[in-house]
């Protein structure tokens, strides 16, 4: 039996707007001391040692009884739906991956506070003004690997 955790790090962003935006969260799922996250494809590294730094918050997601070999098969299948070129800060980001992976492992997605954050920001009055910044973040976060932030491919996505 392995305990599952959600590892959430954040980039501090404070705006005086509705809704209040305290942070833009990056999430990963910790299984057996390994943290899985999505950026330049599905990545894994020692828990708490992603390029995003140590988590500011962890959320217990439950336990899984799925054996490691079956988890690897599930992850391989999930990886076909989370390729580097699929990264989109609004519709297919690290939080969407974490939610899908957690749901496969425990039957429960991660809290909507994380999954829906980018969409909520975009729907806010200031959201459209933030869109260019979010697009720059998409280029950066869509190319992160366990080794760190990589240069975006030339010619766009």
Active site residues: 26, 94
Residues 6+ apart with CB under 8 A from 59: 5, 6, 8, 110, 111
Residue 102 exposure: Cα atoms within 13 Å on the Cβ side: 29
* Closest to 13 in 3D by CA, of 101, 120, 88: 120
Structure tokens at 115: 């999954």
> Is the Cβ–Cβ distance between 112 and 7 less than 8 Å?
no
**Could you give the 3-state DSSP secondary structure of residue 155?**
coil
């Amino acid at each position: 039996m392995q305990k599952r955790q959600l590892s959430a790090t954040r980039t501090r962003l404070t705006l005086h707007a509705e809704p209040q935006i305290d942070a833009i969260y990056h999430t990963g799922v910790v299984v057996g001391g390994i943290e899985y996250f999505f950026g330049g494809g599905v990545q894994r590294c020692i828990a708490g040692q992603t390029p995003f730094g140590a988590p500011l918050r962890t959320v217990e997601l439950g336990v899984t009884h799925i054996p490691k070999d079956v988890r690897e098969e599930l992850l391989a299948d999930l990886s076909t739906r989370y390729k580097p070129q699929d990264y989109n800060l609004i519709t297919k980001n690290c939080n969407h991956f974490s939610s899908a992976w957690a749901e496969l492992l425990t039957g429960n997605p991660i809290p909507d506070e994380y999954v829906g954050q980018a969409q909520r920001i975009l729907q806010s009055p200031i959201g459209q003004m933030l869109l260019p910044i979010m697009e720059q973040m998409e280029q950066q976060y869509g190319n992160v690997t366990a080794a760190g932030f990589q240069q975006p491919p030339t010619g766009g996505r």
